Structure formats: C-alpha cells, structure tokens
Structure 1
Amino acid sequence: MDTSIKERQIAEFCRKDLLEENQNQVIKVSCQTGRDVKNVRTSVGTYFYDESLSNILVQKQEFVEEYYDGLKELLIYKANHGEIYSDILITLYPDGSYQFKYWFDEERLYKEEFITAAIGSESFPSTMADCLLSYDLPAINFKKKYAKIIMTLEIKVGEPVVDLRYRNGRNQIKPVFNFTDNTSQSYKESVDKILRLTGNSLLHQYNITHGIMKEFWEPWNKIIIEVPPSGILNELEDIHYYLDDKPLDKKYFTRGYFDMEKWEYVKYK
C-alpha cells in the first residue's frame, strides 16, 4: 500500500462529506480506534470539529463508509508494519491540502476500557440472567412455574465451571438440562454451546475484576445467581459472591461504585 495515496483518498472523502457552509474552514477530523485495530470487532470512530476542536460539526453522511473503510485499512496496514496507532487527527485546509497526525493514546484507551469494565462488572449477574431466560431449549419451559433458577458460576483451577439448576413448586432442585429425555445430538450441541458461551463470559468477567478493576473489586471465585420468574434480580437477595466458599459482603463486594452522573468510579468512604 502507498500510504500517501490512501491518506489522500481518505482526506478527499472527508472533504466531500462536509456541508457547504464548512468547505472554506479549517476542519479537524478526529479518528479513534481501540487497542487492537486488527480485531474485526474494533471500530473506528470519526468526529468532525472546527479548528478549535471545541464544536462538533454535522456532515452529509454520504461518504462515511468510504473513509471509515479507508481509515481501518490504513491503521491495520501500519500495525502490520510495526506502527501501532489508536488515534489520527486529520486537518483539512480550505486550499485542498491536508495533514495527518498519528499517535497511540494509552490514557484514553485505559479510561474507556475501565469505564466499560466498571459498568459491565456491575451488570454482569443481570446480563447472565437475561441470557439464560432467552435460551429456547426443550430442557425446561421457562413459562411454567418455578421458584428460582439457580446459576452457579465458578472458577476452578483457572477454568470456568457452570452449573444450572432450578427449584420447582415442590421445592425440588433439578438440573435445567435434561439429557435423559433429550438424547439428540443437536440438543447436546446446543447445550454445549450455551455452557461454553456462559463459561467464556464468566472467565472474561473474572479476568476483568482481577485485572483492570482489581483496585476496586474484591477477589472472588464463585457467583451464585438465583433468578426469579420475573428475571429481575434483587441485588441483596438474589446475587451471592464467594471466595473459596466464604460468602462475601452483600454490597456487591466492591470497594466502590460507578457514578453515572460523574461518569467515573468512586471509592466507598
């Protein structure tokens, strides 16, 4: 790839997407991506500003796909050649010239990753409950009456272990998945997929709370989630955390909470 040609193409598409009223201004196009741009799920955000970088500008939205694809291709190419960048600032001048500035913004990335981890960690049990109730398998009809669905999610020797049971109206505990009455290969494959996805989510959550969130999150290795028929969890009654089978504090065993108004994590006093 000739990167200078690619930059020119991107700049031209950005300029074409400007409203007529902005054509004779100095325009700043801020382009931000994640830590690993080569990951297919990593997107590139583009924001058009005036020269002061204080006012976001509206664009036509006619050429977004063209400069989005070009930016991702350019960043991946540079990453494959040892140039790792997370941010680009494109300056478009009224005379048709342009300038590209590249850098890696560790501070921005860490803040975004931390906020995502904080919000996701607090909502993890509810997310798992929602996922369980969305499964459509003949093992159990979630429309029939049951007292609780009991999800036991545990990390043993670094590996996730998932156990799903339910308490019926006679207070009997039974497994959610019934391999006695359901012996087909497709059923087994569906159950294996559910357990694998749940286990992957559990391990991801464990790594987050023992990694980027470890300053705020108490160590744990087991969560028991008791899902009521409504699917709406009571934080104090339905969610239980453990470390080596010892119950942890009911205050979500965290050392703080995410303040949505301040958009930051706040430690308990």
Structure 2
Amino acid sequence: MKRGEALLGCAGAAGAFAVCETLSRTGLVPSADLPPASEVLARAVELGGQAAFLDGVAATLQAWAGGLGLACALAVPLGLLLGSVPAANTAARVLIEFLRPVPSVALIPLVSLLLGSGTATTVTLVTYAAVWPILFNTVYGMGETDPVAKDTLRAFGFGRFAVVLRVALPSAAPFIAAGIRISAATALILAVATEILAGFGEGLGIFVAQAGTATDGTRDVLAGVVWAGLLGLVINSLLVGAERRLFPWTPDHRARRA
C-alpha cells in the first residue's frame, strides 16, 4: 500500500472515530446505545490483557484456520478438475448452483444436531462458506490459461495431468490466491457469527453474545466488534502482502507498485 493510501485510510478511521465520539458526548445518541468511541477503544485494549478473552480469540482463530484450510483442500483440487474437464464441470454445475446460495447460518441447527456443540460445528460451517470463492476463482483461473502454452506441452507428448500441473496451475495460482483472500474474510465472519448464533462453546462470538445479554453490555459488544475488525484487517493485510511477493507480475500488483 502506498503511503498516500495509508494516510487516507488512517484519516477515514480517525473521522469515523471522531463522529462516534461526538454523537455520544453531545447526547445526540444516548451513550447507552452508542458509548463514546474512546471508551470502546479503551475497553478493547483492556480485553487484550485478559487471558480468558484471548483464549476465546484463539479458539475463534483456530476454527477459522481449520475451516479455511479444509476449504482450500477441497476447493482447489475440485476447481482444477472442473476447470480442466468440461464434462465434469457440466455434470456438477446444477448441484453447485443449488448449494452455493444456501447461507451457512441456516445450516447451524442441522450441523449442531449432527456434530453437537464445539469447534467441529464452527469448522464445518466455515468450510462450507469459504469453499465457494476459492472454487470459482480456481475454475476461472483455469479458463484464463494460455491455450498456446497448453498446446505446446501436448505437442511434446505431455498428458492432461502434466499440462495441468506445469501450465494451468501456475497460471491459475494468482486467481486461487485471490479466492483464498476473499474466503479468509468470509471464514472469519462465519466463525464469529456461528459462535454468536449457536450460543455454545467458546470464542470471540461467544463473548459478544454474552455481552449482548448483559444490562450494560453495549460497550463490551462494540469492543468485541473492534477486535473482530482488527483481526480481519491483519489477516487481509498479511494475505495481500503474500500475494504481492508471490505474484508480483499480476496487473493489479504492478499498478500498486507503480
């Protein structure tokens, strides 16, 4: 990220902070509904020193990482298959388009009955939500492979599997990485949301849910939201940095470096 973009981002965050602080301090919005931003931020910092809270954050990140890892393990090979075998793509299209619109949160009761409470339920729902961006980006990346490069390998006697590994997969890698980055955000959202809606286990979502039932828990709820936002920001920044290092030749990354 360029320095100018970073400064603009900080300015936007500072502006939002000032607006929330002003609305609460002036009484335009009751402090019970919107505590001052400074108090929320102070509470978020305080939570960072509590072992029990950090254990919950670690549990959420564990479920996030497990679900995202499983999604990658399922979606990338399946995307390679669908992208390289048109008959398989056609055969699976109806099933995929049927399952894709089903929201993961709607599956919480069913998955809870099958797997019970705990990390297994969260990981399953996170995997279901995260698999789609990776799958479709992989298939799209396979379609963007240079046909001349594939025909050249075939002319030298390489089979379909070798062509996929030597040409199609490296060509699709930037698209797969972008899909993983999108899914990482989706996975974090689902990890926290599943914990909130399921109401069991441990994690950042459980902290937010319990704070929401307290008499004066708005500050804690917002502090938990701040933590969720920071986690998402850090994860996205790390993945964007990894993409730039691994695929510096892509147009988007060349434009950002210019």
- TM-score with structure 2 length normalisation? 0.25
Structure of larger gyration radius: 1
- TM-score with structure 1 length normalisation? 0.25
